[in-house]
Structures are given as C-alpha cells and as structure tokens.
Amino acid sequence: MLRHLLASAVLLSLSTLTLAHEFRAGDLMIDHPWARELPPTSATSAAFFTLHNHGAQEDRLLGASTPVAGKAELHTHIHMGEVMRMQKIDSASIPAHGMTEFVPGGNHVMLFDLKQPLKAGDSFPLTLQFEKAGKVEVTVNVEAAPAQHEHQGH
Ligand SMILES: [Cu+2]
C-alpha cells in the first residue's frame, strides 16, 4: 500500500514538473527558464528564470553554460546616471527561504556567440552551476518578444 502511494506521488510530481516547467535540485527550484526570440542577425541573447530556495542555507549561482552559445555569463543591470548598463557579476545569491529573479532589465544569463538563431517554440539545455546544489541542467524555452504596439491604418 505504501509502495503504491509512493509510486503515485512520483508520477504526480513528474507530470507537475513537465506542465509547470520547473526544475528541482535539493532545496532549489528553478522556475520557467526562458529566452527571448531575437532577429537571426543577433549573435547574443539572454536567459531568464526564477530561483527559489526552500532550504535554510543560502546558495549561490556561480555560472552557466549551454551548447548553443560560445559563452554564457551572469549579468546584471546597473544605473549609470540616466542609462542602464549591463555588468558581469561573479555570482548571484539565493537567500535561505528566499528567491532571486532573473528578468529582463535585471539579472540575466547573457549568451554570447550563438551558434544558431533562437526561434520561438525552440528549447535548449542550459547548465547552471550552484555553490551548494552543484550543476543543474534545465531546459530553456524560446519565447516570442512581446508584440509591439502597431499603428495600423495611419
Ligand atoms: Cu547582459
């Protein structure tokens, strides 16, 4: 009976994982990794996700790598007077019982030297390196940029 319950619990969590597009490693949960579709002429892109830490100890994201890009770096945006500039960071903290967001305009994983254009509907593997959780491979979904406001009939 117990074994049966355990088996269903595993099946349930597997299907939840697929639907919600989440990845778990120990106390860490990596929620909805995505990258924005960009014109094929663009050799760089960025990946975004939300890191949740359900544990009692801080963890840190130390780096990332993916076969689709020559190089992946952790970046953040900083204010330089009136302008926002990207800056490389060595790590990003995920506080105990906290979360860290990688979002457009904030932290992101910068992808350099893309080996192929990222098209909406595609996905690619991204390996995240954490201080405590170690290496975690997630699947990044490529999504279309939000539709721009179009002036029609003018
Ligand atoms: Cu960047």
SS (H, E, C) the chain: CHHHHHHHHHHHHHHHHHHHCEEEECCEEEEEEEEECCCCCCCCEEEEEEEEECCCCCEEEEEEECCCEEEEEEEEEEEECCEEEEEECCCEEECCCCEEEECCCCCEEEEEEECCCCCCCCEEEEEEEECCCEEEEEEEEEECCCCCCCCCCC
pLDDT reading at 61 higher than 60: yes
Q: If you average pLDDT over residues 94-115, what whole number do you get? A: 96
Higher pLDDT, 129 or 3: 129
Using a CB cutoff of 5 Å, list residues around ligand 1, an ion. Answer: 75, 86, 110
**Average pLDDT of the residues in 113-134:** 95
What is the domain partition of the chain in residue ranges? 21-143
The CATH superfamily of 21-143 is: PCu(A)C copper chaperone (2.60.40.1890)
Tell me, in angstroms, the distance from the centre of ligand 1 to residue 135's CA: 22
pLDDT: which is higher, 37 or 20 = 37
The CA 117 to ligand 1 mean position distance, Å, reads: 17
Range 47-59 average pLDDT: 97
User: pLDDT tens, 139-148?
Assistant: 999 998 765 5
Cα of 76 vs centre of ligand 1, distance in Å, is: 7
